[in-house]
Chains A and B, each alone.
Chain A
Amino acid sequence: EPEVTQTPSHQVTQMGQEVILRCVPISNHLYFYWYRQILGQKVEFLVSFYNNEISEKSEIFDDQFSVERPDGSNFTLKIRSTKLEDSAMYFCASTSGRVGSPLHFGNGTRLTVT
């Protein structure tokens, strides 16, 4: 069964550095998402992306965050200047958008900001 893949599985970075988290959504899916889960807290919506633009974003997704679909397969989340509180599991998800089709999630990237 096709799956969403995320790389790297674990990223350690220093505060203030830029990080790029990478995702390859399922190939025939059209809608892409980033969610995150801070340790011990709930999963939170960050952003949705369709037709090469952001369709929705949460208040967490501020100017430090950006998303891009640089080619036909990758979907990236960039954090420009990481903060300690950005440490979390970041999950990429995709869906075909057909009625009743759920989100399919990747296994996540654990981001640790030191």
Chain B
Amino acid sequence: DQQVKQNSPSLSVQEGRISILNCDYTNSMFDYFLWYKKYPAEGPTFLISISSIKDKNEDGRFTVFLNKSAKHLSLHIVPSQPGDSAVYFCAARVLDSNYQLIWGAGTKLIIKP
């Protein structure tokens, strides 16, 4: 049951360039989408979120875009920095749930110097 899909297991980007991480979902009942970043041996760290009623949310170098008709969201990191190298998880909240999150499999982002 893959309600949230991150189809790229890994992504390599040059430092200073834009990193674009993609996420697709199948369930129209998700009301909130979140991006988490995870370093080895640490728990997921919240990055940015977007409500299903919006199409864009920006926070510093991070911007999340939501295309509801395509059931697609993306995370843009500009400019990419070496410290951004991590695994990025897309997660979706089930409508009216108490943060019951459905997670994607993650994309490992590698920033090359």
Count B-side interface residues using an 8 Å CB cutoff. 21
Among candidates B41, B91, B98, residue contacting A50 with C-beta atoms closer than 8 Å? B98
A102 touches B100 (CB 8 A): no
Q: Is A18 an interface residue (CB 8 A)?
A: no
Whether A105 touches B44, Cβ cut-off 8 Å, given contacts A42-B105, A43-B103, A44-B103, is yes
Q: Is A25 an interface residue (CB 8 A)?
A: no
The prevalent SS among residues of A at the interface is strand
**How distant is A36 from chain B, measured CB to nearest CB, in Å?**
11
Count A-side interface residues using an 8 Å CB cutoff. 26
Among candidates B43, B99, B103, B104, residue contacting A31 with C-beta atoms closer than 8 Å? B99
Mark out the residues of chain A between 22 and 61 whose CB falls within 8 Å of any chain B CB in the assembled complex.
31, 33, 35, 41-45, 48, 50, 55-56, 58
B46 touches A104 (CB 8 A): yes
**How distant is B99 from chain A, measured CB to nearest CB, in Å?**
6
B99 touches A95 (CB 8 A): yes
Chain B residue with Cβ nearest A104: B46
**How distant is A39 from chain B, measured CB to nearest CB, in Å?**
13
Mark out the residues of chain B between 28 and 73 whose CB falls within 8 Å of any chain A CB in the assembled complex.
34, 36, 41-46, 49
A56 touches B46 (CB 8 A): no
Whether A55 touches B98, Cβ cut-off 8 Å, given contacts A42-B103, A42-B105, is yes
**How distant is B62 from chain A, measured CB to nearest CB, in Å?**
13
Q: Is B101 an interface residue (CB 8 A)?
A: yes
Which A residues are within 8 Å of any B CB, using their own CB?
A: 4, 6, 31, 33, 35, 41-45, 48, 50, 55-56, 58, 91, 93, 95, 100, 102-108
Contacts A/B (CB < 8 Å), 19 sampled = A31-B98, A31-B99, A33-B99, A35-B101, A42-B103, A42-B104, A43-B89, A43-B101, A43-B103, A45-B101, A45-B102, A48-B98, A48-B100, A55-B98, A58-B100, A91-B44, A102-B49, A103-B99, A107-B43
